[in-house]
Amino acid sequence: MLTAPAKPHRAEIEHAVRRLLYQRLGRPTPRAAQAPRPLLVNVSARHCHLTPEAVETLFGKGHELTPMKALYQEGQYAAKESVTLIGPRSRVISNLRILGPCRDLNQVELAYTDAISLGFDIPVRASGDIAGTPGCMLMGPAGFLELPEGVIRAAPHVHMHPTDAEFYGFKPGSFARLKIDGPVGMTFDRILVRVSPDFKLEVHIDTDEGNACGLGPDTPCQLLP
C-alpha cells in the first residue's frame, strides 16, 4: 500500500507563504489566497482503472498492482503495470497506464484524439458512468480481457473538499468555470464538481484540453461560478 508523501506539495507551500506575505505586508489578501487550499490544474493522460479480478486475468493469479508514483489525491497512484489496448480498427495503444488502487469497475479514459486514432466514438462521461459506452480488448502479459463497456472521455472535473466547496459556493454535481490565462488562454464552462472529505482541490483535464489552452506548471488559473 502506497502512503502519501510526507512533505506537502509545492503548491501547498507556495499557497501558505503567499497568505503569510500578504499578512506581514498588511495588504488585502486576494480571494485566491484566502482559499482553504491552493488550486491545482493537472492534465490527466490516458489511463485505465481495473478491478482485482481484471488485474489477475491480465497479470496472473494473485497479482496485485505495484505502486510506482503517488498522485496528488490521497491514496491514489500510478502503478508500474500497464496494458495494451486494442481498438475496433485493430489499432493499439501500448503501455496504457493503470491507476490504483483497484476499483469495483473497469474503465478506460482516453482523449478525443486517442479515440479517433483507435476508431472509437466515445461519449464524455463522469467517472463511473459507463452504461452504454463502447468496450475494448485489453492485453496483459498473462492474458486478454474483453470489456463490453467502459471506454469514455472523462468529463473535465474538479475534486473538492467540503470546505473548498463552501468557500467557492459549489454543490456536488454542479458545474464550475475554469479560466486559464496565458498566450492561448481560454475558459472551460462545464467543470463538473465532485466533493468528498477525502479530496484535495484539483482540476483534471485531458491531454487535448491541456494542449489547447497551453497549460504549464506556472499558468495562472481561476475557478469561477
pLDDT per position as a tens digit, 79-132: 999 999 999 877 899 999 999 999 999 999 999 999 999 999 999 999 999 999
Nearest to 220 by CA among 180, 193, 165, 171: 180
* Domain annotation for the chain: domains and CATH numbers: 32-42+156-224 (2.40.40.20), 45-154 (no CATH)
pLDDT per position as a tens digit, 133-160: 999 999 999 999 999 999 999 999 999 9
Give residue 4's pLDDT.
47
pTM of the model: 0.87
Instruction: Say if residues 176 and 14 touch (Cβ distance below 8 Å).
Output: no
Residues with Cβ within 8 Å of residue 89, at least 6 apart in sequence: 118, 119
Whole-angstrom distance, CA of residue 17 vs CA of residue 60: 48
